[in-house]
Amino acid sequence: MMKYQEFNQQIIDLIGGKNNIQAVVHCMTRLRFTLKDKRKAKTEEIKNLKGVIDVVDNNVAYQIIVGTHVNDVYKELIDMLGISTGEEGSQKRKNKNFVKAALDVVSESMNPILEPIICAGLLAAFLSIVSLTGLISPESPTYQIFDALRNAVFYFLPIFMAMSCAKRLGVSPYLAVALAATILSGSINGVEGLSLFTIPLPQITYSNSFIPILLAVWFMGYVTKIVKRIVPTALQYFLTPLLIMVVMLPATLLVFGPLGFYLGEGIIAFFNLLMKYVGSWFVMMLYSALQPFIIMLGAGNFIMPVVASLIASNGYDPAFISSCTISDIAVGGAMLGYFLRTKNSKQKQLFGTVTLSAILGVTEPAIYGVFVKFRRPFVAVMIGGGLGGLFAGITGVKAYSIAWGLFGLPAYIGAGDFKNLWLMVSAVIISFVGAAIVSYILGVPSEDDSAEKESPGEITGENPNFRTISLSTAAEGQLVQLTEVKDQAFSTGALGKGVGIIPKKDTIYAPVDGEVAAVFPTKHAIGIKGDQGEEVLIHIGIDTVKLEGEHFQVMVNQGDVVKRGQKLAIVDFESIVDDGYDPTVIVIITNTNDYLDVIPEGSKQVHIDDPIMNIVLEQEQSK
């Protein structure tokens, strides 16, 4: 009986059906889909499913965040889709350049093998603790047997990477593993004086590495396609594996082995030089402060290959894993500050839950459930995490294995290095307390921004208990109701109430007085925090994020103070339509729930300064 069958079936239906799924993999907390047509996915409905934390749609993938049990969900999902994991990466990815595609492959290939790597890291910490207590001697057979597990995981890292990468790229995992096992054999691995076809081979140690086999498996995908194309169907079962391996072994030893080896050495040398001449304190401070933003971009695991290389080369990671833990704990501290500050029982329950998960090393629920909404916690983590990272960098904290979060702290003992552990604990405390204090001081916006001031856009009605904020149009054209907008995320009102405008002219105007809170890098959306606390999002066109700023000329920057009717942008709507996109300008109030109601005007032609909606506020009662 499948535990997640109903849940997975709902996802399949809402994401556009089986035929819309081109590939699917998973990481620590999320399912990462490559969809044939993202427009078919009903994102807001997926977000509302019980068991879904959030949905992130970016150039990397369509990501559904479900939590740390994602592996179990994924296994059942693959069975229901009727595909093997080996088919996940066989399709071409659209709208992605080579660098993004390469990073995507590396990240998604690392995800499945984190389980044995984390296991080996925590086992190393456990063995250090046990040996220091005197219960087991490092020379005892029992210690050596368990230590063999730790050593084996890193020694045979090329085999794990071969299996994972082969599945990701649609290559036979068994042939990939056979290739990895061959280069790890005693007759090749680290052997000096080898030659192939009279060509001398450099002495390369393939154990504890991953880049050579990663490159080789990538090339194996192309070789497989060519061989299958030229070998008759009747002979493929016999000849295809042989021909693939006859090509791949020389190619690996002559090209990809040396290339991967020197590339790995180059990566290690770069970060060693960076930390030597700039300082590990700078790297750790920066990464500890910025990790939540990196996670939001879906790029949280891109550092794992670098970490694996550093540990394989130095025996420890001098920067990144420590920074991950420090940042995670800072996220937990920021959420604790909100937990202590809020008086809303529902919010207190949310903040308490995400505090615990962040401390344990899973920050996605906090980042997508709280940070994106309130934004101020980012400041708290940047300050708290930055201070903790700075301390860890100055004191030279090292991570001896890949393990993060509260339970990963024993991994800092290393070979009896308790000083390193206590320094890391101190860094974690600094980040936690610092972020908690800052978030407590900054407060919860929805509660602290309730007091409003009179402004030109405010209209007080006959009922003294209510007042109204009026928004003027953001573009000249035909005003339409939000339900008529051809975008599920907006038309359902899930992102907030508002209106749509079918533009007749190319100018975008500020609908309120306020401050520009955000200008999206792709220039298709502008956020304004009004003087009355109203959070206005102007979304120009549907799916125009794919244009990457083409046809948009934005005239303001984040932090600028704007007045109602001020020009914000010039947009070439004619070219947008020619490129096949809907030009509708959408104006919504993202903090709709903070008000009694948001009432749109009826459908009509609107010109500069014409009202498009009214926000109804409850007047404070006199005491």
Instruction: Please count the other Cβ atoms lying within 10 Å of the Cβ belonging to residue 21.
Output: 21
| Span between the terminal Cα atoms of the chain, in Å | 61
Rounded distance between C-alpha atoms, residue 212 and residue 46, angstroms = 39
Name the H helices within 193-235. 211-230
Please count the CA atoms within 13 angstroms of the CA of 158 that sit on its side-chain side. 27
**What are the tokens at 275?**
């930390």
Rounded distance between C-alpha atoms, residue 585 and residue 71, angstroms = 40
- Per the CB < 8 A criterion, the answer to whether 605 and 477 are in contact is yes
Bridge-based pairing of strands 611-618 and 597-600 is antiparallel
Rounded distance between C-alpha atoms, residue 89 and residue 101, angstroms = 11
Rounded distance between C-alpha atoms, residue 519 and residue 517, angstroms = 7
Instruction: Please count the other Cβ atoms lying within 10 Å of the Cβ belonging to residue 231.
Output: 16
Give the torsion sign (CA, 562, 565, 566, 569): positive
Choice among 27, 119, 165, 324 that is catalytic: 27
Task: Indicate left, alpha or beta for 215 from its phi (over 0: left) and psi (-120 to 50: alpha).
Answer: alpha
Establish whether 27 is a catalytic residue.
yes
What share of residues in the chain are helix, strand, coil (percent, to 5)?
55, 15, 30
Rounded distance between C-alpha atoms, residue 98 and residue 104, angstroms = 10
- Per the CB < 8 A criterion, the answer to whether 297 and 58 are in contact is yes
CA distances from 258 to 17, 212, 497 (A): 44, 7, 58
Amino acid, res. 239: L
What are the CB-based long-range contacts (under 8 Å, 24+) for 76-81? 76/2, 76/3, 76/4, 76/5, 76/8, 77/4, 77/8, 77/11, 77/12, 77/24, 77/31, 78/24, 79/2, 80/2, 80/5, 80/8, 80/9, 80/12, 81/12, 81/18, 81/21, 81/24
- Per the CB < 8 A criterion, the answer to whether 40 and 47 are in contact is no
Q: Catalytic amino acids? A: 27
